[in-house]
Chains A and B, each alone.
Chain A
Amino acid sequence: MTTEPLPEHPEPLWRNPEPRSSYDVVIVGGGGHGLATAYYLASVHGITNVAVLEKGWLAGGNMARNTTIIRSNYLWDESAALYEHALKLWEGLPDELDYDFLFSQRGVLNLAHTLQDVREGTRRANANRLNGVDSVWLGPDEIAEVCPILNTSPDTRYPVLGGTYQPRAGIAKHDHVAWALARRADALGVDLIQGCEVTGFLKDGNRVTGVETTRGRIHAGRVGLAAAGHSSVLAELAGFRLPVQSHPLQALVSELHEPVHPTVVMSNHVHVYVSQAHKGELVMGAGVDAYNGYGQRGAFHVIEQQMAAAVELFPVFARAHVLRTWGGIVDVTPDASPIIGATPVDGLFVNCGWGTGGFKATPAAGWTFAHTLATGVPHPLNEPFSLDRFTTGALIDEHGAAAVAH
């Protein structure tokens, strides 16, 4: 028997360096947000003596588990500014990073199935337009034109009464986004250190001076946490608390199909969100499992509900087969908005609480967190998203726009 020789392994996109004993900035978490933070620290702020510490492999957590939806149609001024900044950065990143990560602005529909949904949706579309976000309100007939496979007949259990549509929204290939950011951050001098779990924090009084890791002690001028579902665990090690709860969030894909789904559809009420990947899989997301969990898996009845919603909305999916399902751990805040800024520990900053919607914000999370880590003070975009807001009461309630049940 003869076998073809294996092809040459492609050139690695980043080095695999040993950790040094000290960095100006250490970022804990090598997912999309950590990598974007490192990239902007180096490219915008000229700070290249930076390490990104990842306990597993780069972008193997929620960056590998999300449903890749990108949009900026959030209700409040603070959120619209932050997510729209992200969308504008997305529009330039493929060129800036010289990497085609299949960013596809195919639009997003957020469906309304009840009178309350209609009121919330029209209000949000109007608020979006006042903030320069390209949302419009569509009726069922217009929705049928945007997405012909969607069942917009009045005969369903929860008829589509209308929906918001943001044409500039879309999807991107999540793994490639991470690799594009990692390659460029690495080229600018950032050390991306995998298999390096933070096990404790070094402090001088109330100031953080470094981290203990499974690969030794690493000193740092400033430390940024970008660890999503494990943020509470790290905060506890550092001696403070976060108002977040970690939940499993599940998603699944079908086997490959011909292109049938031209846009992204999200339904809060019957609850599923669906797009079709470039390769052909139907990508569908569920609501969170109700209980707190770190297990990166959830219950099947949640998937069952999600599939019932998908088949109700898209009768054409009824005979598609599930190829695989998975779960990630999302850190949910009381107001469904992120926390980006200072912590009670000097020199230690946190980017967390993105809950079910962190992927779309990857560039803006990186942009604002890099600014915060570089200057020690928040960027105007993330100033409202301080940890302090839970004490002052200046919450930014985005449970409606978050569009994923939790």
Chain B
Amino acid sequence: MLLVTCPWCGPRDETEFHYGGQAHVPHPADPAALDDRQWAEYVFYRENPKGPFAERWMHATGCRRWFNALRDTASYRILATYRPHEPRPSPQPVETPTAPPSPGDRRAAGSSGGNR
């Protein structure tokens, strides 16, 4: 189980969260101008990298707020979590559990599990 650091509540078990897929997918600025191919891209196509991936999570049994995480899909290591208005952190994979936290975060970045 992952230990996911909610940017508002701190580290919690993965079971408290709902997964939301790829982050930073903007709604089309001019929807009426899109052709079928562009609609398909917006509705059905998402990035699926093996490595760092910016994705949405929601703290379903906590504050119920959405936030973003940068997570390595091969190691499952969470490289950073950040609030929706914040920019995506550096996409470089972090191998050690000493990821630099973004300002204002109290998380233990890169934690791999919590015993309870």
Contact pick for A242, options B14, B48, B49, CB 8 Å: B48
Q: How far is the CB of A243 from chain B (nearest CB, A)?
A: 4
A290 (CB) vs chain B CBs: closest residue: B19
Q: How far is the CB of A296 from chain B (nearest CB, A)?
A: 10
- The reply to whether A300 and B1 contact each other, CB–CB distance below 8 Å, is yes
B75: A residues at CB distance < 8 A: 295
Q: Is B106 an interface residue (CB 8 A)?
A: no
Q: Is B24 an interface residue (CB 8 A)?
A: no
- The reply to whether B48 and A390 contact each other, CB–CB distance below 8 Å, is no
Q: Is A99 an interface residue (CB 8 A)?
A: no
Q: Is B94 an interface residue (CB 8 A)?
A: no
Q: Is A292 an interface residue (CB 8 A)?
A: yes
Q: Is A391 an interface residue (CB 8 A)?
A: yes
Chain B: residues with Cβ within 8 Å of the partner, total of: 25
Contact pick for A295, options B19, B53, B76, CB 8 Å: B76
- The reply to whether B19 and A233 contact each other, CB–CB distance below 8 Å, is no
A248 (CB) vs chain B CBs: closest residue: B76
Q: Is A44 an interface residue (CB 8 A)?
A: no
- The reply to whether B73 and A292 contact each other, CB–CB distance below 8 Å, is yes
Q: Which of B25-33, B37-45, B81-89, B97-105 contacts A (4 or more CB under 8 A)?
A: B37-45
B14: A residues at CB distance < 8 A: 299, 301
How far, in whole Å, are A323 and B15 apart by their CA atoms in the complex? 25
How far, in whole Å, are A300 and B113 apart by their CA atoms in the complex? 12
Q: Is B50 an interface residue (CB 8 A)?
A: yes
Q: How far is the CB of B22 from chain A (nearest CB, A)?
A: 8
- The reply to whether B74 and A232 contact each other, CB–CB distance below 8 Å, is no
How far, in whole Å, are A230 and B37 apart by their CA atoms in the complex? 24
- The reply to whether A243 and B73 contact each other, CB–CB distance below 8 Å, is no
A236 (CB) vs chain B CBs: closest residue: B49
- The reply to whether A243 and B45 contact each other, CB–CB distance below 8 Å, is yes
Bitwise interface map of B from 55 to 83 toward A, beta carbon under 8 Å scored 1, else 0: 10000000000000001011110000000
Further pairs besides A241-B45, A290-B18: 4, Cβ < 8 Å: A291-B71, A291-B76, A390-B40, A390-B45
A to B CB contacts below 8 Å, 26 in the list:
A232-B49, A233-B50, A236-B49, A242-B45, A243-B40, A243-B45, A246-B50, A290-B18, A291-B19, A291-B71, A291-B73, A291-B76, A294-B74, A295-B73, A295-B74, A295-B75, A299-B14, A301-B1, A301-B14, A334-B43, A334-B44, A390-B40, A390-B45, A391-B39, A391-B40, A392-B36
Using a CB–CB cutoff of 8 Å, the interface residues on chain B facing chain A are 1-2, 14-15, 18-19, 21, 36-37, 39-40, 43-46, 48-50, 53, 55, 71, 73-76
